[in-house]
A and B are shown apart, each in its own frame.
Chain A
Amino acid sequence: MSGKRELIISKIRDGVVIDHIPAGRALLVLRLLGISGREGFRVALVMNVESRKLGTKDIVKIEGRELTKDELNLVALVAPTATVNIIRDYEVVSKFKVSIPDVVEGLLKCKNPRCITNQQREPIRSRFRVISREPLKLVCEYCGTIHELGDIEKYFGLA
């Protein structure tokens, strides 16, 4: 039973729990999953709670949603410590850690306006290579511009 000092969030039946997100990045995770809150499904955000592994962490719980490979890659870039828990019928049925991909294709936009990948009329997708994991650094394979976490935050309309 929980005592006076705990807040109970009702459990989700089917969905996903993204746990062990570095503190303060839960909103960014929601943004890059394209979740605004207006979709109608239940979403719980827990921010800056104590964690044995991380000191403090954020948690995102989303009812009725699964994550694609691309979405997992994006989550890994901004929350490399995250654990993804798949929930079915209230139980955790699978659990895995995300891992930062070596190449990120078609998911982010290069910040260099003079980059060929920003041409609307060319059959081209953005492509970045991860050159550093901590701190995160991605380099555009076409124009060589380096992107950091702050650039990803800007791209998703934060910071």
Chain B
Amino acid sequence: MAKGENLADTIRMLDAYANAIVIRHSLEGAAKFATEVAESPVINAGDGSQNHPTQAMLDLYTIWREFKVIDGLSIGILGDLKYARVVNSLVQALSYYKVRLHLISPELLRPRQELIEFMNSRGMKYDWTDDPYNVIGDLDVLYVVRIQRERFPDPMEYEKVRGAYRVTPKLIERGKPSLIILHPLPRVDEVDFAVDNMPQARYFRQAGLGVPLRMALLKLVLAGDRS
């Protein structure tokens, strides 16, 4: 959208060209607005810091592939719980299952009121801690999200929390042997490179599953469940 046209016009144009529209946009609510403008189906591939539903579908698919079940699992989400959009979508997706959520973040990046109210309205079981060591032993899945520099209005705040939430072999060794580590990627330094070689690391396999997941989603949207 480099020529300064607005989103509504861009969507109308794409709508005339294509049978489905995939939108990734920097503003929150852009995908919902696109669905109101377009006749064709719209897939939200991430809008602002609000939602990233295809990532959440992929996350659930990965967890299901590993455990063959999602109900009953204990899932930790660590990192930026306030600004990371994958967290909103992941929690929404998990709300359809009976899971135990452990939210782990620095005080500054605690989940927003919106997410808390959502979890309460869905009767989800969750708790929050600022120390991953408090809950690591209970987890089946540790989902790590980046703490992004650009989300911080004040660079000093970023420096304070950076590094304090790194996932290291030492942390993982305190967990169950069956623990798996997920990450939406790209990673900066929130997961230690030494973790990559541990059997618990699943984030590259997770990323790989994004291809079939998105293929299946496009097929569903375009052709329904006819095979």
Contacts and interface: CB of A to CB of B under 8 A. Distances in A.
Nearest to B88: A144
A49 interface: no
B114 A114 contact: no
A144 B50 contact: yes
A129 B88 CA distance: 19
B114 A116 contact: no
Nearest to A117: B29
Interface in A101-154: 112, 114-117, 119, 121-124, 131, 139-146
Given A122-B8, A142-B29, 11 more contacts: A115-B29, A116-B47, A119-B27, A122-B7, A123-B6, A124-B33, A143-B28, A143-B48, A144-B28, A144-B114, A146-B113
Contacts of B113: 146
Interface string B44-56: 0001111000000
Nearest to A131: B117
A116 B33 contact: yes
Interface of B: 6-8, 25-30, 32-33, 47-50, 88, 113-114, 117
Contact of B28 (A122, A131, A139, A142): A142
Contacts of A145: 28, 114
Contacts of A114: 26-28, 48-49
A146 B117 CA distance: 10
A141 B117 CA distance: 15
Contacts of A131: 117
Task: State which size class the interface on A falls in.
Answer: 10 to 19
Contacts of B27: 114-116, 119
A112 B30 CA distance: 13
Contacts of A123: 6, 8
B113 to A, nearest CB: 6
Contacts of B6: 119, 121-123
Nearest to B113: A146
Contacts of B25: 116
Contacts of A139: 114
Interface of A: 112, 114-117, 119, 121-124, 131, 139-146
- Give the residue among A117, A122, A131, A141 with the most B Cβ atoms within 10 A: A122
A121 B6 CA distance: 6
Contacts of A116: 7, 25, 27-30, 32-33, 47
B80 to A, nearest CB: 16
Contacts of A140: 29
B111 to A, nearest CB: 13
A59 to B, nearest CB: 34
Contacts of B33: 116, 122, 124, 142
9 contacts: A114-B27, A114-B48, A119-B27, A122-B33, A124-B33, A139-B114, A142-B33, A144-B114, A145-B28
Given A114-B28, A115-B27, A115-B28, A146 B8 contact: no
B90 to A, nearest CB: 15
A84 to B, nearest CB: 32
Contact of A141 (B7, B30, B32): B32
A143 B50 contact: yes
